[in-house]
């Protein structure tokens, strides 16, 4: 059976039983989202698509002490109760202007794909409990690839919180690859309450809050991301679990990487440099994990705010549950190590080739020094974000 919308479409036979449709959308994106059936693909043309914001009250709160707290929010575009593939123009010319707190809300959707979209122009909700972001995902499984979430700059001084890049909420699973979260007014990516995410090869730059914040009982794997010019870098909170490997975390106002609460942090082969206060920190007893093969250098350029201006800080000097080994520290303004035996660290110049990419140069003490976490080719592992088995493959 053919369905006729005010859109150009092609019908595709799926599994010899059901039909899935591919539509080209040139106007009224929300109408296309409403009319599409689960399994359909929307090819969204280059151009500017503006949402008609709708206010709503959600029955649960992502980041309140009481989960069943009503939250007043607004949404721009909505995908609800269906699986869709939303593919924007490959040259990045598909721009969604949301004018809402929850810019693109994905709700009760398993298998949705978002690709080649720019999401911008959000408007902060006045309810401080609203988890505003360019994309908000609840009870859904979503793949987000090559999307730009930027210039969601509105916020109220009275709420402090602004609009983030991606908020991943209750019982959601998200793959976030090769995306850019730039110039927003809250966390780049935040996870709450049972959410799970794989965050790889993303640029998270210029915003407020944390670049990646993993809270409550959420779980995240963070690979090969660059996080800069936020208040803070990568943090695990509550009972969350974070695997952070091969990230470049630099020029944030406060800390680079921390573990707090009763969370677990596996931080390996990260380069944490030029952050305003501390580079890497174990915030309190009760946390656990591994801090191995990291470089923490040249941190502490601003007055102490959230932690001492040191390379590595263990606030309570309690290392139970932790493996801390093979980390290089260098030229941190208030000392390289505090709260941990400094003999466990290599204090040496990483000999960065420049202060843009922070790649250790030839002869650096960070190169070829670990036989456990080897490089991808099996050679002794380099320390920092360019080394170890998960590093981005070098061009030949």
Q: Specify burial of residue 121 (Cβ count, 10 A radius: 0-12, 13-18, 19+).
A: buried
Q: State what percent of residues in the chain have pLDDT above 90.
A: 86
Please give the structure tokens belonging to residue 215.
């809270």
Instruction: Identify the residue whose tokens are 């069943």.
Output: 68
Are the CB atoms for 211 and 232 separated by under 8 Å?
Answer: yes
Mean pLDDT of the chain: 93
User: At 344, is the secondary structure helix, strand, or coil?
Assistant: helix
Higher pLDDT, 160 or 13: 160
Hey, CA dihedral for 390, 249, 174, 26, is it positive or negative?
negative
pLDDT of residue 8: 40
Check pLDDT > 60 for residue 18.
Answer: no
Concatenated DSSP letters of 31-70: HHHHHPPTT-EEEEPSEEEE---EEEEESS-SSSSSSS--
Please check the confidence at residue 3 and state whether its pLDDT lies above 70.
Answer: no
Confidence (pTM): 0.94
Average pLDDT over residues 315-343: 93
Identify the CA nearest to 216 among candidates 395, 371, 44, 61. 61
If one compares 92 and 273, the residue with the highest pLDDT of the two is 273
Q: Tell me 285's DSSP state.
A: B
pLDDT reported for residue 219:
98
The confidence band for 274, taking pLDDT boundaries of 50, 70 and 90, is very high
pLDDT at residue 160, as a whole number: 87
What gap in Å lies between CA 260 and CA 282, rounded to an integer? 7
Compare 7 and 84 and report the one with higher pLDDT. 84
Q: What is the DSSP letter of 103?
A: E
**Mean pLDDT for the stretch of residues 218-236:** 98
What is the pLDDT, as a whole number, of residue 394?
59
Contact 202, 141 (CB under 8 A): no
Q: Report residue 248 CA to chain centroid gap.
A: 13
Q: Quick: pLDDT tens for 90-147.
A: 878 999 999 999 999 999 999 999 999 999 999 999 999 999 999 999 999 999 999 9
Both structure tokens of 61: 């709160």
Length of the chain: 396
As beta bridge partners, residue 242 has: 220, 265
Choose among 232, 96, 114, 211: nearest CA to 164.
211
> Can you tell me whether residue 343 is helix, strand or coil?
helix
């Amino acid at each position: 059976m053919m369905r006729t919308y005010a859109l150009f479409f092609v019908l595709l036979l799926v599994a010899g039983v059901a039909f899935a449709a591919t539509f080209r959308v040139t106007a009224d994106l929300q109408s296309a989202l409403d009319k599409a059936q689960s399994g359909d693909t929307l090819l969204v043309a280059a151009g500017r698509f503006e949402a008609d914001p709708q206010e709503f009250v959600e029955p649960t709160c992502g980041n309140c002490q009481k989960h069943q707290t009503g939250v007043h929010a607004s949404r721009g575009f909505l995908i609800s109760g269906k699986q869709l593939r939303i593919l924007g123009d490959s040259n990045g010319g598909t721009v969604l202007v949301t004018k809402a707190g929850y810019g693109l809300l994905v709700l009760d959707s398993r298998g949705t794909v978002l690709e080649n979209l720019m999401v911008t122009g959000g408007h902060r909700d006045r309810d401080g409990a609203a988890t505003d972001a360019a994309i908000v995902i609840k009870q859904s499984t979503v793949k987000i690839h090559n999307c730009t979430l930027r210039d969601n700059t509105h916020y109220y001084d009275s709420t402090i919180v602004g609009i983030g890049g991606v908020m991943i909420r209750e019982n959601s699973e998200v793959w976030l690859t090769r995306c850019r979260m730039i110039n927003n007014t809250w966390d780049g990516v935040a996870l709450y309450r049972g959410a799970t995410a794989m965050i790889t090869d993303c640029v998270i730059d210029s915003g407020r809050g944390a670049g990646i914040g993993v809270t409550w009982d959420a779980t995240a794997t963070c690979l090969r991301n660059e996080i800069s010019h936020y208040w803070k870098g990568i943090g695990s909170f509550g009972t969350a679990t974070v695997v952070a490997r091969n990230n470049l975390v630099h020029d944030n106002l406060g800390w680079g990487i921390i573990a707090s609460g009763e969370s677990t942090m596996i931080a390996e082969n990260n380069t944490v440099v030029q952050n305003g206060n501390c580079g890497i920190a174990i915030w309190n007893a009760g946390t656990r994990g591994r801090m191995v093969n990291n470089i923490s250098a040249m941190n502490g350029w601003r007055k102490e705010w959230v932690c001492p201006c040191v390379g590595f800080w263990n606030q309570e000097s309690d290392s139970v549950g932790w493996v801390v080994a093979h980390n290089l520290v260098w030229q941190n303004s208030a000392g390289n190590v505090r709260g941990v035996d400094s003999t466990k660290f290599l204090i040496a110049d990483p000999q960065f080739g420049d202060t843009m990419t922070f790649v250790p140069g030839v002869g650096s003490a960070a190169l070829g020094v670990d036989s456990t976490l080897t490089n991808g080719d099996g050679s002794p592992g380099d320390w920092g974000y360019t080394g170890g088995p998960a590093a981005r493959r070098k061009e030949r």
